[in-house]
Amino acid sequence: MPDLLLELFSEEIPARMQKAAGEQLTSKLGDALKAAGLTFESIEGVYGPRRLAAHVVGLPERSADVHEERKGPKVGAPDKAVEGFLRGAGLKSLDEAETRSDPKKGEFYVAIVETKGRATSEIAADAVSEIVRSFAWPKSMRSGMGDLRWVRPLQRIACLFDGTVVPFDIDGVKSGNETEGHRVMGRGPFTVSGWDDYKSQLEGEGHVRLDAADRRALIKRDAEKLCADVGLEMVEDEGLLTEVTGLAEWPVVIMGDMDPDFLTLPPEVIRLSMRTHQKYFAVRDPKSGGLAPRFITVANIEATDGGVTIAAGNAKVLSARLSDARFFWDNDRSRPLGSFIPKLANVEFKKELGSMADKTERIALLAVQIAKRGGFDVDQSGVGAKLCKADLVSEMVYEFPELQGAMGRYYVLAEAGLDPLDPSSVVDEDKAKTRSYSADAAVGVANAIRDHYKPQGPSDSVPDAGPSIAVALADKLDTLTGFWAINEKPTGSKDPFALRRAALGVVRIILENKLRFSLGDLIADAAEAGFAQLLSSGRAGVAEWDSGGASPSMTLRSATAEDDALDTMMINGAWVVGRGFEQEFVDEDAIESEGVPFIRPVSVYGRDLLAFFADRLKQVLRDRGERHDLIDAVFALGEDDLMLVVSRVEALGAFLDSEDGANLMAGYKRAANILKAEEKKDGVTYSGAVDAALLEETAERDLHTAIGKAADAATRALSEEKFEDAMAALAGLRAPVDAFFEQVTVNADDVDVRRNRLLILAAIRDALHRVADVSKIEG
């Protein structure tokens, strides 16, 4: 059967857009052909720096004729219904419709619609025109010749069905049977007759490797071989490999030499300079594990000298880049890292929350408190927190923002007289002798600075050393409590300040390090640190209400150390950030109109922030295969120690998977449903002690005794954090609960007996709620 070839040829398509664009083209083309009634065997696409192409195999010459019967309204139906039927069926009058009869529904109209099939070439022309005009690019432009928007100016369209050009015109670009090859080694143009001819000419004389997967595999294979031939290995970089695959139509891998003197720079600097500015791969010496003075580059041409000139030119450009980096490196190390801190006052974190200097002060206060709670080194945590943002204003990080944290670590090690690339070695004896702290302390502080941004994604590791944990948690908690305090939270898919990632980082750090922290305590610590920093900076105030007189007013005054951050906000109004506290305002809106935003107390937002953390915990546990409803059931108890929450969830999940657990849950739900109905009818909530004297049936006496024993055993087990034992104790209720429902009538005629039995059901509910709010468990 015939096939269809489509190529959209343009100026260079950014590498990051090519894959999605290629998939979009094949998807839209396939959908359009199917919607027009065409079937085909397969569709494949290719994409590259200057073209998107698709090949559809096994198309018919034309679409099939369609016979369709459309049922209309009853005979005698209102005119509006008849008019809608005629319009939808494309009929001019009822004379063109048939009248049919149904024994039950009577007579009704039927439209017979005969649609003739269309030539596949016509369908393809319309489909391609619509696809090109509606194509979704992340960024697009319009050429000076028309209104068509494309990622870069569209130059040619090759479209052939069964070897014949499919004729159409899109904004002055006419379809044809010509394409272009490599700009230098085989430009063409080439006249093609179909897919096989198209592929053969381009991959031959045209010097274009059409398939991105083939280009990627070639680059990787050749790079690894070049490195292996000289006893080295390429540093893996999947993102860069994808990018260079999209930059070269005819990739040629070349190895170049780098000045060995640059190896004294941090390896991150070398790799980032290679990757960001030059699109080079770094090369490693497998014996030492360090970088080698070589690099891999991918050219888009076969040079007559084997790439010698290209390698030399690239080495020269790299040397210039690394010379700049060495200048930044030397300049930054010429002064203590702490001397950069004052410049942070000029870097805004968030208008309502102050500068990065303000944030650093808050982090330092909070990190010390977290270190005390966790038993970490307080001095290292405090110093690491004070210095954690200092490298943001260094020359190196200004040039390479991706190196934030990493450069701060290097600068602290250098300041201590240690080798930044090998902290176990001393390189400056004078600095080493005059420092007032140990080498281990310097390394602890340095690592805390580097690691406090972690984890930056689901695949990133979490910090595992005490000071690093304290600073990382402090940074994230300060951000979260700050944004909740000013009531700026993620909405829908919008999260410009990555608050979800910060909360997920807190959850992962706690769980993966098995830390026993109360999230509520940590949130309170962060709020107190925030207030203390505002107070010390003179930026805190109290809004006091005066309800006397003709109209109530609000007076702002400066806060003092005697003011309590949490209580005063609730009694007198709210804590605010700003200056000029002597003014009077009528209401909160008036204050905010003066540029003095409100900071809400933790008592207002704390519960909401805990719920936000609970959602992030659900995400982590879902990835482990745990049920989200079990997390809700445990969190409903008010537990905020994440390790305990996880332990309870795991024990609860195992319990519910057992036969005893499943049956007990069925009994619980029966009891809960009866209680709900009776409490609604009686207008009361049943709770309290069961009257043993009113227990008439053996089954209810047995259940009452069993509940007492199980509840006591579960309580003891929970106090010792033995959640499996608590579940086992509750599992013993299965048999007496089953017997109770089989042998006892809850709604007895005697009012007191009925109430007593409802209290037994309430005791079942309360016993299970000691472990979790099982009413939230689904199924």
Backbone angles phi, psi at 116, to 5 degrees: -70, 140
Instruction: Give tens-digit pLDDT for 572-618.
Output: 344 444 444 444 444 555 555 555 555 666 767 888 899 899 889 88
Q: What pLDDT was estimated at residue 676?
A: 87
Percent of the residues in the chain that have a pLDDT greater than 90, as a whole number:
50
Instruction: Give tens-digit pLDDT for 707-718.
Output: 888 888 888 988
Residue 315's region, left for phi above 0, alpha for psi from -120 to 50, else beta, is alpha
Whether residue 88 is predicted with pLDDT greater than 90 in this model: the reply is: no
Q: What pLDDT was estimated at residue 741?
A: 85
Q: pLDDT band at residue 554, thresholds of 50, 70 and 90?
A: low
Q: What pLDDT was estimated at residue 601?
A: 66
Instruction: Give tens-digit pLDDT for 665-686.
Output: 888 888 888 888 888 888 888 8
Q: Are 764 and 733 in contact (CB under 8 A)?
A: yes
Q: pLDDT band at residue 744, thresholds of 50, 70 and 90?
A: confident
* Alpha helices in 230-355, H assignment, sequence order: 238-245, 267-273, 308-333
Q: What pLDDT was estimated at residue 546?
A: 56
Q: What pLDDT was estimated at residue 53?
A: 97
Whether residue 450 is predicted with pLDDT greater than 60 in this model: the reply is: yes
Q: Are 141 and 150 in contact (CB under 8 A)?
A: yes
Q: What pLDDT was estimated at residue 398?
A: 93
Q: Which residue has the higher pLDDT, 151 or 664?
A: 151
Whether residue 566 is predicted with pLDDT greater than 80 in this model: the reply is: no
Specify the domain boundaries for CATH 1.10.3210.10 within the chain: 337-529
Per-residue pLDDT averaged across 193-217, rounded? 95
Q: Which range is least confidently modeled, 44-58, 306-320, 515-529, 666-680?
A: 666-680
Specify the domain boundaries for CATH 1.10.730.10 within the chain: 644-776
Q: What pLDDT was estimated at residue 557?
A: 59
Percent of the residues in the chain that have a pLDDT greater than 70, as a whole number:
91
Instruction: Give tens-digit pLDDT for 395-410.
Output: 999 999 999 999 999 9
139 Cβ contact partners less than 8 Å away, ≥ 6 residues apart: 151
Superfamily of domain 337-529: Hypothetical protein af1432 (1.10.3210.10)
Cβ atoms < 10 Å from Cβ of 114: 8
Q: What pLDDT was estimated at residue 670?
A: 84
CA distance 159 to 120: 12
Q: What pLDDT was estimated at residue 565?
A: 44
Q: What pLDDT was estimated at residue 578?
A: 44
Whether residue 336 is predicted with pLDDT greater than 90 in this model: the reply is: yes
Residue 28's region, left for phi above 0, alpha for psi from -120 to 50, else beta, is alpha
Q: pLDDT band at residue 359, thresholds of 50, 70 and 90?
A: very high
Give the distance from CA 175 to its chain's centroid: 42
Mean of all residue pLDDT scores within the chain: 86
Whether residue 160 is predicted with pLDDT greater than 60 in this model: the reply is: yes
Q: Which CATH number fits domain 644-776: 3.40.50.720, 1.10.730.10, 1.10.443.10, 3.30.70.1710?
A: 1.10.730.10
| SS3 letters across 605-651 | HHHHHHHHHHHHHHHHHHHCCCCHHHHHHHHCCCCCEHHHHHHHHHH
Instruction: Give tens-digit pLDDT for 490-532.
Output: 887 788 889 999 999 999 999 999 999 999 999 989 988 887 7
Q: What pLDDT was estimated at residue 720?
A: 86
Whether residue 248 is predicted with pLDDT greater than 90 in this model: the reply is: yes
Q: What pLDDT was estimated at residue 69?
A: 82
Cβ atoms < 10 Å from Cβ of 233: 14
Per-residue pLDDT averaged across 330-349, rounded? 94
526-563 in b/e form (b: 16+ CB < 10 A) is bbbbbbbbbbeeebbbbbbeeeeeeeebbbbeebeeeb
Whether residue 775 is predicted with pLDDT greater than 90 in this model: the reply is: no
Instruction: Give tens-digit pLDDT for 267-301.
Output: 999 999 999 888 999 999 999 989 999 999 999 99
Q: Calculate helix-pair angle for 356-374, 519-536, nearest 10 degrees.
A: 140
CA distance 158 to 528: 67
Q: Which range is least confidently modeled, 9-18, 326-335, 737-746?
A: 737-746
